[in-house]
Amino acid sequence: MKKRYLILEDGTSFEGVSFGSDATKTGELIITSNINGYQETITNPIYHNQIVAFSQSSIGNIGINRKNYESIFSSIQGVVVNEYTDISINHLKKLSLGTFLKQREIPGIEGIDTRQLMKHINKNGVMKASIVDVNDEHAFNQLNATVLNNQQIQTVAINKPYLIPGSGKTIIVLDFGLKEGILRQLSKRNCNIVVLPWNSAYQDIINLDPEGIVLSTGPGNPLEVNEEVLKTIKLIQTKIPLFAMGLGHELFALANGAEIIKLGIGHHGSNHPIKKIITNQIIYANQSQDFAVKNNSTDLKNLITTHIDLINGTVQGLRHREYPAFTVQFSPDGAAGPNDSADIFDEFLESINSKRGQ
Amino acid sequence: MDKKIESILILGGGPSDFGHESEQDAAAFQAFDIYKKMGINIYLIDNNPFSIMLEKISKENLFIKPINTSNVENIIENNQIDAITAVFGGKTALKVLGRLIKKDIIKNNNIKLLGLDDNSVELMNNNFKLRQTLIDQNVHIITSNFVSNYEEALSISNKIGFPVSVKSIDAKVKINRVICKNVDELIDAVDDGLDKSNVNKVSIEKDIVGYKEIETVTIRDKNGNKNLISSLENMNPVGINSTDSVVFSPVQTLTDSQYQTMRNISFKVIEILRIKGVCHIQFSLNVETDEIFVLKINPYFNMSTALSSNSNGYPLEYVASYLLLNYEIDKIELPNNYNKNTALLEPISDHITVRIPIWPFDEFPKINRKLSTKIKTIGSAIGIGRTPEAALMKALRSSESSPKDIFPDYSDLTEDEIVSELIHPTNLQILIIFEAVRRKYPLSDLTEITKMNIFYFKIISNIVDGINEIRKNKLNDNSIRLAHKLGLGDSILSEIWKIDVNKIKDISNTINNHLTYKMIEPSAGEFDSQINSFYSSYESFNESKKEQGKSVLIIGKGKNNLGPNVASDIYTSEMSIRLHELGFKTIILNNNPNSVSLSPLISDKQYIEPIQISDILDIINNENPKYVFIPGNRHYLINSLNNNSKINSIILPPNQKESVIYSEKGDFALDYLVIDSKIIPITSVGFGSESNNNSKNIEYLTDYYVPFNNNHNYDLDKLSFKAKTLIKKENIKGLIQVIFEYSNGNPKIASIRPLRITETIFLNYITNINWINVLIDISINQLDIDQLLNKINEINNSELIKMEGIFPFKSLDLTDNVLPTRSKEIGAKLSIKKSPNK
């Protein structure tokens, strides 16, 4: 039981006990309120450069499982939890969450009053944090001096294309740091998937003659993404049915003239009701967002809002008026989180069919 | 809505029984409060004397009758009923409703059904149709297949997959299910089964014993919007009734995809049944294949819905009451103390709730204690903690009958006995597991033997290791921190270290290990709300601010047991309601999830904590109440609290020690209120017993009649004079019962006793006077005696009212000749006849 500290940019310090790696790491502190699925969360590249706190009271209960990876690499900076349970139940009975984190040099800290942490972040906004051995002035200075890497997509996304063969439609997935859930949903629908790097050129995409294109989720600030990407999106949406999620959705909005704002308080969890405007239906989905499309900033000539978060009012879905292109802010593939909206993937494939019919 | 609903008939839950305490009463009470404010006229049929509704609903709208078709039909014929609902009454009520629909009573009287439409009521009452509907909709269930030869058996078994269970239909001799793991075993089992069957048939089912048993509570509005309110996980796998299992909420050992599958199926089922309101569903999960089967659908309030709302703070009863009336979920306005979005938020918890079953075996030492699919628990207690260990320990502490925090020790059991207990669990299961872990049985072996998830053994082993550590390091700072993290009370530390509880609290304070109370709310702290329900943890941030103004702490009875427990809870609730009316901020401590007294309508603040000395002292320390009210006789508790001079405690009803007893026998009694120098007669009560016993021992007399049937024409005035003289002489005060026995044909005084809790509630109903209010008013010197005397004068005994005890003998398969006693009651029922004398 090694005593360690979670220190925040604003000078706050929490004492806890170390698990996983003993490395000292710094990242942006976010809190996920997902009730399940710590492994999916920890391996989701969307959390690159972030220290993830879990409001779920205890994690580790089911160890690490072969089927629950959202990426094989994990790029988070730390895990904060009230209690860690050291259990391994995978087939070799070897891999507990703690061991996993140790192997990947990710520090964990338990014994934190995450309720207080949640209140603190909700009051004071998103901030940087470190998991450290000593909470002295030096540690805080280090923390404040740390500039987080803004080449996040470059760090987590692939830079070489690959193919996941399928007997169905050929779909290109632009990888901005995608989570496996997207590929899982497409595979389930027999798609022939080509995953291309995020910065692939328009002509290279078109040359592959895809039937649809998916812009994946990914980490970081959409405003820091290369302008070229927006141009590509703008061109491609006129040619091929497009579907985007998360960062992809934010980029699509930018490409079509909407504004993006950084939320003072991000939302990471699946507890918010999201209204599907056209049907009035309420769904729940995994949201991991620190940015949002600014309300009323969408050019009504181009885009319509299809989904809205009933709690904080953020835009959760957009559709292009002219082209078969639509996007959602959340992760319809769940993992972790509900799959109330997994049928969006069907909708996407149907939009390809109706495009064909034209 | 085409027609505005102006009146609703609620079918009640009936007397408490196995798997049923006050949870439906608590839900009905909240709905009643909401509907009354809307101006809706509420009618209720119920015959449970221990219902909070009996006091709240006007006599004209209350029908004290068994819930059956003809009684309900009668009410419908004679009253203007616009709508009817069975969701506060459960299975029986649903059956009755089904019959009324079939007889066209509902249609002919133009009555709306709330919650379930006629089609879904039909499905809930017709298991065959329900199963067919679920199969058609591709919801997996466990189906029985009847076959009459081996070939069919094999083809079915191959289809559903081994292992299968084979059972002989209409067997000539009593025969158990046989589990077959392969074709060879199947041949033998089918041959044998067909041989023993009178009709040459066996049933083949998928064997699901050992599957994980999990549950959900969901809601749905008329537009089909759904919300998963909570998930529950049974510690025991399928094979043991889930009410008899330790339950964790939210689920702890499911992968996200298993959890989401369960959520999807829940939504599918609630959509198929087109439920408006609440639904509890039980599932079995094969962890090897991730297959999930629906075991049971309960579209009404029950113990699991009660557990949900107590454990995560979602206002389930409130929201569901609106959904029943066809409100859309996003149009429901919650009380001000909730964040306005709460109804729509899918609840999440940053704490864990553990429910632990309570057994009736102390009263029945001889009965079979083996756990099976048949329910044996009579109550439950919950523990809420920040960690699974703390939640489990707090639940265990809440389940113990002693407020001293000592657990039974099983270190004298042999290895064989332990293993046998693990394989064939009894009510001692959880304590035996503690012992096995203490003996360092490998956790993987324990998992193998019990089919329980390793997680449970892991947390128990964390507790056991922690206790060892604490034993070794007496009065050490880290020991205290560790104990608190594991949910061990200061009382346990005080027992282990043999020092005073207050000393531990002192050390705890000096090392900054402060007790904090956390709000039980459904967003894990994401939103600000002022929900008034709390549990304790040892962290840095206390969310329970001291109640402003003068407050009272009322110490609830906790877990249900046989005896007057449900009545105690109503008593507790009435006390709180009265004290609030008198201007006090009321604070209730309780841990029975099925109790009415934990309802947010009953008190200003609720603490869900073990009811043990150290926990009570902590709450007193946080709240500094003017009075501490203790309903019922709890000597250890009372003495311990009285030792503390800072605490001003009031015990109601007054201590039974004040009784004057000449004889334990009794035939009838006279009830009095004794205040100052006044002795005010209230009523006469006759005692009886259904069983043939001539002892007339008061403990065996479990039926009460008012008025007493004085067929020997004794001079009651004369007897009353004697009684009053004796009361005066003995200087005994409060609500007093003078019990008479026939001695040589003449009545003579047998004893004088403070009126028991059950009878006080009975007296409330008989006299239309709330005697609990009277006792409270007396205790704080606020009684308006003239007003009371007027009310007493208005008592009319034009009806013969009877309260009979209900006993659990049959359900527990008790074949021995057990006599019913007051302490063996599981519930009671009321009945009314017009008095023959008038």
Residue B340's identity, in one-letter code, is K
A341 close to A285: Cβ distance less than 8 angstroms:
yes
Mention the CATH class of domain A152-356. Answer: alpha beta
User: Other C-beta atoms within 10 Å of B7: how many?
Assistant: 17
Q: Is the pLDDT score of B781 beyond 50?
A: yes
Query: pLDDT tens, A203-213?
Result: 999 999 999 99
3-class state of residue A356 by DSSP: helix
Residues of chain A numbered 61-80 and touching chain B (CB < 8 Å): 61-62, 65, 67-68
Amino acid, res. B347: P
Mean pLDDT over residues B193-213, rounded?
90
Tokens read off for B673: 């209120």
Are B147 and B153 in contact, with CB atoms under 8 Å apart? yes
Whether pLDDT at B838 is above 60:
no
Distance from C-alpha of B629 to C-alpha of B88, rounded to nearest angstrom: 30
Contact B254 A68 (CB under 8 A): no
CA atoms within 13 A on the CB side of B641: 28
Q: For residue A276, give the chain B residue with the closest CA.
A: B225
Given a cut of 70, whether residue B834 has pLDDT beyond it is no
> Among partner residues A55, A68, A310, which is closest to B350 by beta-carbon distance?
A55
Residue B809 contacts residue B776 (beta carbons within 8 Å): no
Query: Per-residue pLDDT for B286 more than 90?
Result: yes
Q: Name the residue with tokens 């009271």.
A: A57
pLDDT classification of B365: cutoffs 50, 70, 90: confident
Domain boundaries, chain A: 3-145, 152-356
d(CA B233, CA B354) in angstroms, rounded, equals: 10
Phi-psi region of B318 (alpha: psi -120 to 50; beta: other; left: phi over 0): alpha
Residue B78 binned pLDDT confidence (cut-offs 50, 70, 90): very high
Query: What φ, ψ does residue B624 adopt, rounded to 5°?
Result: 45, 60
- Residue A319's H or E segment, with its range, is strand A315-320
Whether the complex's predicted ipTM is more than 0.90 is answered with yes
Which B residues, 468 through 497, put their C-beta within 8 Å of a C-beta on chain A? Answer: 485
User: What is the structure's pLDDT at A217?
Assistant: 96
**A279: CB partners within 8 A, 6+ apart:** none
Count Cβ–Cβ pairs < 8 Å, chain A vs chain B.
Answer: 143
- Tell me the H-state helices in B410-542: 415-423, 429-438, 443-450, 454-472, 477-485, 490-497, 501-510
pTM (two decimals): 0.94
Query: What is the pLDDT at residue B640?
Result: 81
**pLDDT band for position B311 (50/70/90)?**
very high
Those of residues 284-323 in A touching chain B at CB distance below 8 A are 284, 310-311
User: Which residues partner with A21 through β-bridges?
Assistant: A107
* Lookup: tokens for B760: 């006080």
**How long is chain A?**
358
CATH placement of domain A3-145:
3.50.30.20
Q: In the predicted model, what is the mean pLDDT of chain A?
A: 93
Site of tokens 């027999």: A190
For A284, nearest residue in chain B (alpha carbons):
B346
When CB atoms are compared, the residue of B223, B387, B540 closest to A82 is: B387
B552: closest CA among B569, B575, B519?
B575
CA distances (Å), origin B264, targets A337, B216, B226, B268, B724: 11, 11, 10, 6, 68
Mean pLDDT score, B251-272: 96
B257 contact residues in A (CB cutoff 8 A): 67-68, 334-335
**How confident is the model over A28-51, as pLDDT tens digits?**
999 999 989 999 999 999 999 999
One-letter amino acid identity for A115?
R
In chain A, residues with a C-beta closer than 8 Å to the C-beta of B341 are: 273, 310-311
How confident is the prediction along chain A (358 residues), in pLDDT tens digits per residue?
799 999 999 999 999 999 999 999 999 999 999 989 999 999 999 999 999 999 999 999 999 988 899 999 888 999 999 999 988 875 556 789 999 999 999 999 999 999 999 999 999 988 999 999 999 999 999 999 999 888 889 889 999 999 999 999 999 999 999 999 999 999 999 999 999 999 999 999 999 999 999 999 999 999 999 999 999 999 999 999 999 999 999 999 999 999 999 998 889 999 999 999 999 999 999 999 999 999 877 767 789 999 999 999 999 999 999 999 999 999 999 988 999 999 999 999 999 988 765 5
CA distance B526 to chain A (A): 6
- In B, which residues are within 8 Å of A86 by CB distance? 458
On whether the CB atoms of residues A47 and B360 are closer than 8 A, the answer is no
Contacts of B346 in chain A (CB under 8 A): 270-271, 273, 284
pLDDT of amino acid A216 = 97
B501-510 and B477-485 helices, crossing angle to 10°: 100
**Residue B177 clears pLDDT 70, i.e. is over it:** yes
Distance from CA of B253 to the nearest CA of A (A): 6
- Give every CB contact of residue B327 below 8 A, 6+ residues apart in sequence: B221, B222
| Angstroms from A159 CA to nearest CA on chain B | 30
Which residues fall within 8 angstroms of residue B560, CB to CB, at 6 or more apart?
B16, B21, B358, B378, B379, B380, B566, B569, B592, B594, B595
Inter-chain CB proximity A57 and B351 less than 8 Å: yes
Per DSSP, A299 falls in state -
Residues 444-463 of chain B with CB under 8 A from chain A are 444, 454-455, 458-459
β A58-59/A25-32 pair status: unpaired
Cβ contacts of B259 on chain A, cutoff 8 Å: 35-37
Q: Are the C-beta atoms of B493 and B483 separated by less than 8 Å?
A: yes
A80 contacts A53 by C-beta, under 8 angstroms: yes
Selected for mutation to probe chain A from B526, B528, B538 (highest A CB count within 10 Å) is: B526
Cα–Cα distance between B476 and B33 in angstroms, integer?
51
Q: Give the nearest partner residue to A40 out of B253, B256, B455, using CB atoms.
A: B256
| B477 contact residues in A (CB cutoff 8 A) | none
SS3 A175: strand
Contacts of A232 (CB under 8 A, 6+ apart): A200, A201, A202, A205
Q: Would you say residue B11 has pLDDT above 60?
A: yes
Q: How far is A296 from A294, CA to CA, in rounded Å? A: 6
Q: Highest mean pLDDT range out of A236-245, B145-154, B732-741?
A: A236-245
pLDDT at B1: 46
Report the C-alpha gap between B683 and B380 in whole angstroms: 36
Q: What is d(CA A308, CA B130) in angstroms, rounded to the nearest whole number?
A: 37
Q: CB distance A310–B259 less than 8 Å? A: no
Q: What average pLDDT score do residues B539-566 get?
A: 88
- Of the listed ranges A107-111, B200-204, B300-304, the least confidently predicted one is B200-204
Q: What percent of chain B has pLDDT over 90?
A: 61
In 3D space, the residue among B756, B738, B557 whose CA is nearest the CA of residue B655 turns out to be: B756
Say if CB B283 and CB B213 are below 8 A apart. yes
As a whole number, mean pLDDT of residues B177-199 equals 89
SS percent in chain B: helix, strand, coil, step 5: 35, 25, 40
What's the number of CA atoms in the CB half-sphere (13 Å) around residue B519? 22
Q: Which residues of B touch A184 (CB under 8 A)?
A: none
Looking at every residue in chain B, the average pLDDT score rounds to: 90
Between CA B789 and CA B602 the distance in angstroms is: 27
- Chain A CB contacts of B227 under 8 Å are 273, 284
For B447, the closest chain A residue by CA position comes to A89
DSSP state of A165: -
Please give the C-alpha separations between residue B407 and each of A355, B63, B393, B428, B500, in angstroms, as whole numbers. Answer: 70, 45, 11, 11, 18
Domains (ranges, CATH) in chain B?
7-124 (3.40.50.20), 145-206 (3.30.1490.20), 215-348 (3.30.470.20), 547-656 (3.40.50.20), 668-834 (3.30.470.20)
> Model confidence at B837, in pLDDT bands (50, 70, 90)?
very low
Mutate to test the interface with A, among B268, B345, B350 (most CBs of A within 10 A): B350
Q: What is the pLDDT of residue B565?
A: 82
Query: What is the residue type of B558?
Result: G
Name residues 264-323 of chain B within 8 A of A (Cβ).
264, 267
Q: What is the pLDDT of residues B604-642, one digit of tens each?
A: 999 999 998 889 999 999 999 999 999 887 777 888 888
Q: Looking at chain B, which residue has its C-alpha nearest residue A266? A: B526
pLDDT tens digits for A94-120? 789 999 999 999 999 999 999 999 999
Tokens coding B446: 């324990």
Cα Rg of chain B (Å, integer): 28
Residues of B in contact with A44 (CB under 8 A): none
